[in-house]
Amino acid sequence: MDKLIIEQGVKTPRIEFDPSGFMKITGRSVPENAIEFYHPIHEWINKLSVYPEAGFKLIVQLEYFNTSSSKCLLDLFRRLESIHLQGNCSVSISWLYDEGDEDMLESGEDYQQIVKIPFTFGKAD
Amino acid sequence: MQNHPFFQSIVFPPESVVLSFKGYLTQSVVDDYLATMEERLSQGGVALQLKKRLMNVAIEAVQNVYHHQEALSAETSDSDGFDLDSLVCLTSNLDGCYKLTTLNVVFKSRISELDEKIKWVNGLDAESLRKAHIELLGKTEFSEKGGAGLGFLDLARKSGKPIEYRFVDINHLCSYFILTLTIC
């Protein structure tokens, strides 16, 4: 299966999802219609048939995201949660936020309460 | 066509205006408004957390106005004789707080629903807002427009202050919906 790479747009984040286990979302996610943007990402996850032995690690490093994106991110986390809970492949999420951006940290903690995937939190470079 | 006299009468003290737009809010106006606002806040040396809160609130509020205006435009070309123009204005206060005011036309049939939602949100303290937000995020299905019905909760949470709002009659069919968000 090919890597999924979507370059960063003015209102959409850069996506790099590698079937070998590395996944990263960076930038800002504030499109008016987030469903349209996240559809191919959700589809890519759905098509995964072979899982890496070391599991998946998703790095989320967002500057801003709107409520439309918040639901799409949750949909993405839910798909990964389903893989994680099957027991064959572990998934973890590394939530990175700008130093001093406590609201972004809180947003990550909110997701941690909703999905059953291990989260780690750290400052963005 | 023209705007209602109330719309024409709205004036903000020029010395407090950071960025103001009055007119028909297109997609490119939304993008330009947010980009210019971010640039001005950066140039003004606004602290990171405050700048992020302001931008988060503005992104949500301005996109909301755009969606509502679009939805209304799809149903009617004008509000029974008046333009469907909107307003977005960010002002800065002497106390270091900012106010973002938005105005858009709504059908009167929507007033009770909007009033009910905002009253509920305004009745929640910070912890309850967070709980309600997590609960709704986990449950809500998308509306056709792709939103998650979380808008007012998000605005109240990010601004940290109650949402000020009012409705002003235009005619038998429509009203202006005016929202003011304070961010400190």
User: Based on the number of CB atoms within 10 Å of its own CB, is A21 exposed (0-12), middle (13-18) or buried (19 or more)?
Assistant: middle
Say which of B52, B66, B146 has its CB closest to residue A35. B146
- Residue A47 in this model has a pLDDT that exceeds 50: yes
Element (H, E) at B54: helix B48-75
pLDDT at B145: 45
Q: Choose among B29, B33, B53, B51: nearest CA to B42.
A: B51
Q: Which amino acid is at A89?
A: C
- Chain A hits for B140, CB-CB cut-off 8 Å, are 71
- The answer to whether residue B137 neighbours chain A at the CB level (below 8 Å) is yes
Give the pLDDT confidence score for residue A4 in this predicted structure. Answer: 96
Q: Is the pLDDT of residue B183 over 50?
A: yes
The residue-averaged pLDDT of A15-29 equals 96
- DSSP letter (8 states) at residue B29: H
Average model confidence (pLDDT) across chain B = 88
CA dihedral in degrees (B163, B56, B47, B178; nearest 10)?
Answer: -30
pLDDT tens digits, B67-116: 888 888 887 766 666 788 899 999 998 888 999 999 999 999 999 999 99
What pLDDT, in 10s, does the model give residues B12-59? 888 899 999 999 999 999 999 999 999 999 998 898 899 999 999 999
Query: Which stretches within A1-125 are classed as H helix?
Result: 34-47, 67-86, 102-114
Alpha carbon distance A7, A58 (integer Å): 17
CA of A34 vs chain B CAs: smallest distance (Å): 7
Q: Answer yes or no: do B60 and A98 touch at CB < 8 A.
A: no
Nearest Cα residue in chain B from A77: B138
- CB contact under 8 Å between A64 and B133, yes or no, is no
CATH topology of domain B5-183: Heat Shock Protein 90 (3.30.565)
Put simply, the answer to whether A68 touches B146 (Cβ < 8 Å) is yes
CB contact under 8 A, B154 and A67: yes
Instruction: Give the residue from chain A lying closest to B150, CA to CA.
Output: A67
Q: What's the CA gap between B20 and B92, in Å, rounded?
A: 12
Mean pLDDT computed over A87-92: 91
On the question of pLDDT at B168 being above 50, the answer is yes
- Please give the angle made by the CA atoms of A81, A110 and A66, to the nearest 5 degrees: 95
Helix, strand, or coil here: B129?
A: helix
Residue holding tokens 């064959």?
Answer: A88
A34 in contact with B, Cβ within 8 Å: yes
At position B60, the amino acid (one-letter code) is E
Amino acid at A101: D
CATH topology of domain A4-123: Transcription Regulator spoIIAA (3.30.750)
Which of A63, A101, A110 is closest, CB to CB, to B133?
A110
Whose CA is closest to B29, among B76, B67, B78, B62? Answer: B62
